Chain A
Amino acid sequence: MSPSREHAAISFEQKIQSNPDEVELLSLKVRDVLQANGLSQFCFPIELLARECLANAMNHGNENDPEKSIVLQLRVGRAWIRLLVTDEGPGFAWRKAVQRKTGVVEVDGRGLGIYALYAERFQFNRCGNRITIWIDKKKQTGNGE
């Protein structure tokens, strides 16, 4: 079943202000939600993806403006997990960013590499202020190859 048609067994949504403390608390909340629903095996990749999305939304999207907000949605279905993060910024040049290669001595620029590592698919909206990430549960647990 395609991820967009699948019924969500778990649906979680939270809106935060764009600051590091709230990003940290929401990231830990994602961990708690997964653990509370017997999904501990997905905690590391999903929490990490959430952290990277939230950090990008805060730093690049909302440009560290604490008056702006970020919305995170997490939906867990039978086969798929979908993470959606929206900020209030003007967007960014994601087409250019996804082509960038990060060397081992570079301090920044690994967020998109992390998306590619754990996500089956990720997609920005046209302007780049909303990202949707799909994670294949079978592949994350090593049963889907």
Chain B
Amino acid sequence: MAAFVIDHKDTQGSVQLTGDLTAIMVPDLQAGLKQLLQKGARNLVFDLANAKMLDSSGMGLLIAAANSLAQMGGKVRVTNVSPDIFRLLQSMRLTLRLNVSGREE
């Protein structure tokens, strides 16, 4: 079973993670994102509300998506990240690049 749900309307796309964003799920998610871009999505929201873990492969996927969309005039937003994941992305200087926001209290 896929650990994510992808939705799409016009140029807006969303990816709801149902668990962690780690190396094991990157290949399937990459394939899903490729289809999403082919359908015309230019702005993507990754919802990490259910993710406890993000590793360097998951970060790489988010950066690759941001790089691809930037070339098309679009952008990525990463929302509802845990405090641990926010600190990690902040330390990697990625919060601006990925438009990261934390979970609401």
Is A107 interfacial (CB 8 A cutoff)?
Answer: yes
- B92 contacts A110, CB within 8 Å? yes
- A104 contacts B88, CB within 8 Å? no
- B57 contacts A117, CB within 8 Å? no
- A117 contacts B63, CB within 8 Å? no
Q: How far is the CA of A108 from the CA of B59 in the complex (A)?
A: 9
Is B84 interfacial (CB 8 A cutoff)?
Answer: yes
Q: Which residues of A contact B64 (CB under 8 A)?
A: 107
Q: Which residues of B contact A20 (CB under 8 A)?
A: 23-24
Chief secondary structure at chain B's binding surface: helix
**A-facing residues in B35-63 (Cβ within 8 Å):** 52-53, 55-57, 59-60, 63
Q: Which residues of A contact B22 (CB under 8 A)?
A: 24, 27, 51
Q: What total of A-B pairs shows CB separation below 8 Å?
A: 54
Q: Which residues of B contact A106 (CB under 8 A)?
A: 63
Q: How far is the CA of A114 from the CA of B56 in the complex (A)?
A: 8
**B-facing residues in A35-85 (Cβ within 8 Å):** 43-44, 47-48, 51-52, 55
**A-facing residues in B75-105 (Cβ within 8 Å):** 84, 88, 91-94, 97
Closest to A48 in B: B55
Contact among A51, A104, A105, A113 for B23, CB-based, below 8 A: A51
- A110 contacts B23, CB within 8 Å? no
- A55 contacts B56, CB within 8 Å? yes
Is A135 interfacial (CB 8 A cutoff)?
Answer: no
Q: How far is the CA of A113 from the CA of B89 in the complex (A)?
A: 11
Q: What residues of chain A have their CB less than 8 Å away from a CB belonging to chain B? A: 20-21, 23-24, 27, 43-44, 47-48, 51-52, 55, 104-108, 110-111, 113-114, 117
Q: Can you pick out 5 interface pairs between chain A and chain B where the beta carbons lie within 8 Å of each other?
A: A43-B52, A48-B55, A106-B63, A107-B63, A110-B56
